[in-house]
Amino acid sequence: MKISIYPTNDDMSKAAADLVAAQLAEKPNSLIVFPSGESPSGMLRYLVQYANDGKVDFSQCTIIGLDEWVGMDERDYGSCKHYLHTNFFNHLDLDPERVVMFDAKAGDLEGECERINNFIGSHGGLDIMIVGIGMNGHLGLNEPGTPFDLYAHLSELAPITVEVGQKYFKQETVLTQGITLGLKHLQEAKMAVLIASGEKKATIVAESLQGHVGTDVPASVLQNIPHARVLLDKGAASELEHIS
């Protein structure tokens, strides 16, 4: 696990975008997982800028969505799909066939998990899987207690996830379940990337990266991934020990 610390969130975001750009330059048809939420917003802005400037080409890659609130799609403000469409896809010349996301309104959600698992497996596995970290250490919607060996699955949302998740909506919204790629996907990705910013994430970042490895803190699985990359700004790294 390589931990890189940057002075600001903007510096961290640019570094994350540069990782994606380098991957696409090396392998244009890469399979890449992008998360939604606050953490990736700067990275996505840089990638849109790079694409508009001709510095990166998304035309041959395939993008996989990390997760979604069950019962929502891109028409629902606050959904993961809505976020990625609004902040990323709508600003790029993307073939819709190259965007693969969970249908969280599907009648057979277990079948959706199987569809995504099969898609990733049949396309040679993930090249980059980028995740943020929740206040309880969740990655995607892999909540505390999630086994490390799960692929895509349904999750019961933790109370803190429901509480924090309200910031994405215009009004209080009932959130009960999520559908998400699994921690096994992260471990098998050719490059697993965690991005985090801000002092509010410092405690859980330190616990995840330097504490006990166990399912009570899902992000601690990163300690089991030798090739993982962790990109932090100074605030998020402020409670780490012995890191320069």
Dihedral (CA of 157, 158, 161, 165) sign: positive
**Residue 138 known to be catalytic:** yes
* HSE-CB for 19 with a 13 A CA cutoff: 26
Q: Which of 105, 112, 106, 92 is nearest to 32 (CA)?
A: 92
**Residue 117 known to be catalytic:** no
Name residue, tokens 């890189």.
Answer: 4
Catalytic residue among 57, 136, 207, 239: 136
Dihedral (CA of 113, 161, 43, 198) sign: negative
Catalytic residue among 82, 85, 138, 153: 138
Q: Could you count the other beta carbons within 10 Å of the beta carbon of residue 51?
A: 20
Q: Could you count the other beta carbons within 10 Å of the beta carbon of residue 220?
A: 20
Amino acid symbol at 36: S
**How many residues are there in the chain?**
244
**Residue 67 known to be catalytic:** yes
Q: Which of 182, 168, 186, 202 is nearest to 86 (CA)?
A: 168
**Residue 143 known to be catalytic:** yes
Q: Are 193 and 40 in contact (CB under 8 A)?
A: no
Which residue stretches of 27-108 are H helix? 41-52, 80-87
Catalytic residue among 143, 153, 185, 233: 143
Residues identified as active-site: 67, 136, 138, 143
